[in-house]
């Protein structure tokens, strides 16, 4: 079985919505790294000139390559990445090999 790694950098308020959308599209789980800091091209200044940065979560999905595009599209739609600047980004990478995913493969086979 071939896998893709989908990496989503998401505004923390959207994490649950993005996770649910990914599951509905075929993701079997994810690793969540909390409290990452995101910065855009321009620093956002708030009260008294103090820099304001929204907290981000990093979501890592190891998904079946055949379902990866559907999961990626669902993540982008749920997070409104193209509609609302600064809400997040997502991209996928090829996975050469993966170990420790036997239960995921079994879960995918049961769904089919």
Tokens at 79, concatenated: 């997070």
Question: Would you put residue 30 in left (φ > 0), alpha (ψ -120 to 50) or beta?
Answer: beta
Residue-level pLDDT at 42 = 61
| Whole-structure pTM value | 0.80
Residue-level pLDDT at 98 = 85
Convert 29-40 into a string of H (helix), E (strand) and C (coil). CCEEEEEEECCC
CA nearest 107: which of 5, 23, 8, 31? 23
Tell me: the pLDDT tens digits for 4-34? Answer: 999 999 988 999 999 999 999 999 889 999 9
């Amino acid at each position: 079985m071939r896998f893709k790694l989908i990496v989503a950098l998401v505004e923390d308020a959207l994490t649950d919505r993005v996770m649910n959308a990914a599951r509905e599209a075929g993701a079997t789980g994810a690793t969540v790294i909390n409290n990452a800091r995101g910065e855009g091209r321009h620093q956002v200044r708030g009260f008294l000139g103090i820099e304001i940065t929204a907290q981000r979560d990093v979501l890592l999905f190891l998904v079946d390559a055949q379902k990866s595009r559907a999961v990626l599209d669902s993540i982008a739609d749920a997070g409104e990445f193209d509609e609302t600047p600064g809400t997040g980004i997502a991209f996928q990478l090829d996975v050469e090999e993966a170990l420790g995913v036997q239960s995921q493969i079994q879960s995918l086979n049961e769904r089919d």
